[in-house]
Amino acid sequence: MKNVALTVNGRPLQVVADEKQAVLLDVVREDLGLTGTKQSCDRKGQCGTCMVLVDGKAVLSCITKVAALQGAEVTTIEGLGTPDRPHLIQQAFVLAGAVQCGFCIPGMIVTAKELLDANPSPTRAEIRRALRRNLCRCTGYVKIIDAIQLAGRFLRGEIAPADLMPSPDAPALGVSHPRPSAMAKACGTASFGADIRMPGALEIAVVRSPHAHATIRGIDTTAAEAMPGVVGVMTARDIRGTNRIKYTVADRPVLCDDRVRTLGDPVAIVAAATRDQALAAAEAVVVDYEPLPALLSPEAALADEAPQIHPDSPNLCYSQPIVKGDAASAFASAAAVVEGRFRTQINHQAPLEPEVSLAYIDGEGEDAELVIIGRSINIHLAMASLQAALGWEAIRYEEPFSGGQFGIKVEVITEGIAGAAALHFGRAVRYVPSIAESMLATSKRHPFDMGIRLAADADGRLTALGMDITVDNGAYMSLGIVILNRALHMLTSSYFVPNIDVASRLVYTNNPWGSAARGAGPPQTHYAVECAIDMLAEKMGIDPLEFRRRNSLKPGETKATGHVVQEWPFPGLCDAIRPRYEEARREAAAEAGDGVRRGVGLGAAAFGIAMPGDKSIAAVELDPDDGVTVYVAAADPGEGNDSMLSQLVAHVLDLPLDKIRLRTRSTADTTASGPASGSRVTYMIGGAAVDAAQQLRAAMDEVGARTHAAFVEAGRDTRYVGRRTTLETAPLDPTTGQGPSFEVQVFSVQMAEVEVDTATGAVKVVRLTSAADPGRVIHPLNVAGQLEGGMDMGAGFALREEYVAGKTRDWVTFKFPNIRHAIDMETIVVETPRELGTLGSVGIGEMAMVSTAPAIVNAIRDACGAMVYELPATPDRVKAALAAADARLVGSGT
């Protein structure tokens, strides 16, 4: 042990620390409660969220030993500035739109402080070098680099933050007003789940299955229960409810009872005084497994002798065809046909914040409520699912700030564990798993296997599409049906295809279970369809952009599911990107070389929003101080839903933004407005909020006043409930796949410019350009931020990322995109207000990555002639594709 004197944010501190173990992160977070400093990577120094300044140098506090800090001056994010008195760098991050989920931002700002102190005018390359240890999943790093350059201008006195603040009379819509939550995140005062103090709470560890498929013959907890600090161990038999989490099918246990169905399935919960004690005791729980055949592919799961994974469902758990027109005849008479088989990988959504949930009992007797502080983006549904699973009706679900989600927080994960433990042990509990366990415990992006045929007539118009799609659902249903149906609804991208014959099937396996992941189905199918589009365009000698424009749907024509579209401004997007496309083509031709070849590729998308049957509800209330509170359950794990809601309502009511408050995080005071997913928040929840605000506005006009006092005097209600309901309800026909579809679309054309090293297969993405039409733009910086972050995620999906159960256990093995991978990006936004939109807006978040992978793969093919049929397009796969292309050339005699 060593006695160390140091200062933290100017405060003298004396610490007696273990020389080998005690790290600065624990002093800062646990001892001092300075939770602006985060932790994501299991203390491996991989993420940079824990950065603090030590004597002016940015250090990773998770690997900095306290014993080495004698006399050191430590500064955390809280020491730089507060929301009332922010540092110029913090203001720059807010004003540049660099703050999305905000989990990485304190670490980014601390690192930027070191850089700017030494170099007030850094180039973008210098910023990239300085931030090489900091990870971000939301932004693609573009706006973070922008923010640091802006901070440099502030620090050099060239401009002041006030110069960039929208004026008080600026319009509510179409202006990048600072996000309501951004400054708290930039100053480290926004509490994420693990930041919440809960003195005396038990810490939880979970015993997880080492088998992908096995019967549980018995569980012996004796040794674990005798270990130091252990309060108890619970198993499935201690759960009083159904013990099944249900999203669409109740098939996933909170704790497995008779069988485990995938690696990492939860089997028992250990509660102890400290996390280390709980983890140690979890190791001592003895589970007697009888291994069963592990079905690790749809082929294995569909084999005749394969065991059934769930007792009440065959492994082939869902199928849905699409039959439109006469595809067989259209293929027979086509001028050109292309075909291929495309495969995508299991992938992790990779929010930077690890999983976390807390739970406690509030009240006694009949009034006792189980309070779960979790990470759901659908808190009312999570509450309902937990009520049944845990057998406890009185549940209040609350959501803290959330460090990214990208689909992973649609599902109940840690909440069930924490809730079950709080009920069983009758104590407050914290469940803060490692990032390795978080990866093991959560849902993943479904892998798709897709055979495709695509045909066109002599005029270059698409005539037929044939596909067989097999989706590996993994061990549990979650949203499997929804994901597959979404892919089918959006199957034909932006195009009119009159004849379609598609078979699709969803198969239970013992792989990680799939669920929502940004785009949720269409990113997988668009990879196949948009690559086939390029193959067909080349075969017919038509420029790929012209081919896409020529085949655009027109109002009055039908999508794959037979749904007639009313608005389809896709051709305008093709025109908008054309100048950049032609420039990129010229540059690629000029830079063509032997060893490194340059190519240009396109991908398009028409991303549907608001499924038939969707509905939302919102409330607004005129408060005694004449401000207005909006009540909706609208999680905001980074997209900017707080901006969207406050700016829409301020616009309708013609009130200043600081008069609008949001209540969005608790089932106790929000409306059950549905999930913050499916890119539906602006259209559905925002639409309901606008409806409520318009009712209040009408009442204000009738009363002739905008004050609470006047409403009371006039005997008028101060609270108004608004709704948004889609126009149609019916699901797809089970035999033809025809039926109503999404109510509106957001459109995109993305372009990738790449360089391929034909010797190594390495691909460098030189630039990505996204042209998008999301309808009327509410907040330009938020839209650009979504496009940039989406392209970055799409590039990771295309080139690097893959989740391999048991092997992917941290950010290095996941190949998390760092700032060295950051790609130069350009965004082109076309605003075509939609008739049905929320004041003309539709949404943007998921579409941003849907067409990135095909754009990159098409660019690789454009560069070197090699089509990569399986993602990610690693150097080995590119080399194999090159070899196959060469073999075809030899075979054809060219």
Partner 1 sequence: MAEPIRTRELRTVAGHQVWFDSEGFFWEPNDWSEEAAEELAHEGGIGSLDDVQWRVLRFLREYYQRNGRAPMNRELKAGTELSLVELERLFPEGIRMGARRLAGLPNPKTCLD
**Shortest spacing between CB 796 and partner 1, in angstroms:** 24
Among 240, 734, 883, 889, binds partner 1 (CB under 8 A): 734
Q: How far apart are CA 53 and CA 218, in angstroms?
A: 51
Residue with smaller CB distance to partner 1, 485 or 748: 485
Q: Which of 80, 630, 104, 593 is nearest to 350 (CA)?
A: 104
Rounded Cα distance, 584 and 601, in Å = 10
- Is the distance from CB of 132 to CB of 144 less than 8 angstroms? no
In whole angstroms, the minimum distance from the beta carbon of 320 to partner 1 comes to 7
> Which residues between 568 and 597 bind partner 1 (CB under 8 A)?
none
Judged by CB under 8 A, which of 63, 227, 300, 721 binds partner 1? 721
Contact set for partner 1, span 511-530 (CB under 8 A):
none
Residue recorded with tokens 């990505």: 768
360 binds partner 1 (CB under 8 A): no
| Contact between 393 and partner 1 per CB under 8 A | yes
Nearer to partner 1, 319 or 694 (CB): 319
Closest CA to 404 of 480, 517, 483, 519: 517
Binding mask of the shown chain, residues 666 to 685, with x at each position contacting partner 1 by CB under 8 A: -xx-xxxxxx-xx-x-----
Asked if 531 and 854 touch (Cβ cutoff 8 Å), the reply is yes
Place of tokens 């939880």: 204
Residue 504 vs 818, nearer CB to partner 1: 504
Contact 691, 393 (CB under 8 A): no
Q: Name the residue among 614, 636, 684 with its Cα closest to residue 841.
A: 684
Shortest Å distance, C-beta 358 to partner 1? 19
Q: How far is CA 199 from CA 127, 242, 274, 428, 523, in A?
A: 40, 31, 11, 9, 44
The encoded tokens of residue 871 equal 């993602």
Give the per-residue contact string, 370-389, with partner 1 (x = CB under 8 A; - = no).
--------x-xx-xx--xx-
Backbone angles phi, psi at 744, to 5 degrees: -140, 170
Q: Which stretch binds partner 1 (CB under 8 A): 89-97, 315-323, 573-581, 582-590?
A: 315-323
CB within 8 Å of 513: residues ≥ 6 apart: 252, 262, 443, 444, 473, 474, 475, 476, 477, 478
Which residue from 618, 744, 819, 855 is in contact with partner 1, where contact means CB under 8 A? 618
Stretch that binds partner 1, among 59-67, 72-80, 610-618, 650-658 (CB under 8 A): 610-618
φ/ψ of residue 439, rounded to 5: -65, -40
Least gap, CB of 477 to partner 1 (angstroms): 8
Kindly state whether residue 307 participates in binding partner 1, applying the rule CB under 8 A.
no
CA distance 281 to 304: 41
Q: Does 802 sit near partner 1 (CB under 8 A)?
A: no
Does residue 607 belong to the site contacting partner 1 (CB under 8 A)? Answer: no
Kindly indicate which of the ranges 91-99, 222-230, 342-350, 366-374 contains the residues binding partner 1, using the contact rule CB under 8 A: 366-374
Of the CA atoms within 13 Å of residue 532, those in its CB half-sphere come to 28
**Nearer to partner 1 by C-beta: 93 or 508?**
508
Q: Which 408-437 positions form the footprint of partner 1 (CB under 8 A)?
A: 410
Q: What radius of gyration, in Å, describes the C-alpha atoms of the chain?
A: 27
- Smallest gap, in angstroms, from Cβ of residue 469 to partner 1? 15
What residue has token string 């070098």? 129
Q: Is 317 in the site for partner 1 (CB under 8 A)?
A: yes
- Options 104-112, 145-153, 727-735, 838-846: segment touching partner 1 (CB under 8 A): 727-735
Reduced to 3 states, what is the DSSP secondary structure of residue 686? helix
Q: Is 247 in the site for partner 1 (CB under 8 A)?
A: yes
Q: Which of residues 452-491 bind partner 1 (CB under 8 A)?
A: 477, 479, 481-482, 485-486
State how far the alpha carbon of 807 is from the alpha carbons of 356, 437, 443, in Å.
22, 12, 16
Q: Is 870 a catalytic residue?
A: no
Longest Cα separation, the chain: 90
Looking at the Cβ atoms of 610 and 700, the one nearer to partner 1 is 610
Please pick, among 743, 755, 801, 846, the residue that the annotation labels catalytic: 846
Q: Are the C-beta atoms of residues 510 and 294 closer than 8 Å to each other? A: yes
One-letter amino acid of 432: V
Bridge-based pairing state of the strands 628-631 and 660-663: parallel
Does position 617 bind partner 1 by CB under 8 A? yes
Q: Which is nearer to partner 1, 154 or 631 (by Cβ)?
A: 631
Nearer to partner 1, 244 or 548 (CB): 244
Judged by CB under 8 A, does residue 663 bind partner 1? no
Q: Locate 544 and state its tokens.
A: 């790929």
Quote the strand ranges of 632-733, DSSP E.
Answer: 660-663, 719-725
Choices 522-530, 531-539, 707-715, 719-727; region in contact with partner 1 by CB under 8 A = 719-727
**Helix/strand/coil (H/E/C) assignment for every residue in 5-71:** EEEECCEEEEEEECCCCCEHHHHHHHHCCCCCCCCCCCCCCCCCCCEEEECCEEEEHHHCEHHHCCC
Site size for partner 1, by CB under 8 A? 57
Query: Judged by CB under 8 A, does residue 654 bind partner 1?
Result: no
Query: Residue 314, interface with partner 1 (CB under 8 A)?
Result: yes
CA distance 884 to 138: 36
Contact pick of 57, 129, 132, 719 for partner 1 (by CB under 8 A): 719
Nearer to partner 1, 677 or 748 (CB): 677
Report the interface residues with partner 1, using CB under 8 A: 247-249, 313-314, 316-320, 363, 366-367, 369, 378, 380-381, 383-384, 387-388, 393-394, 396, 410, 477, 479, 481-482, 485-486, 611-615, 617-619, 631, 667-668, 670-675, 677-678, 680, 719, 721, 725, 729, 731, 734
Catalytic residue positions, numbered: 846
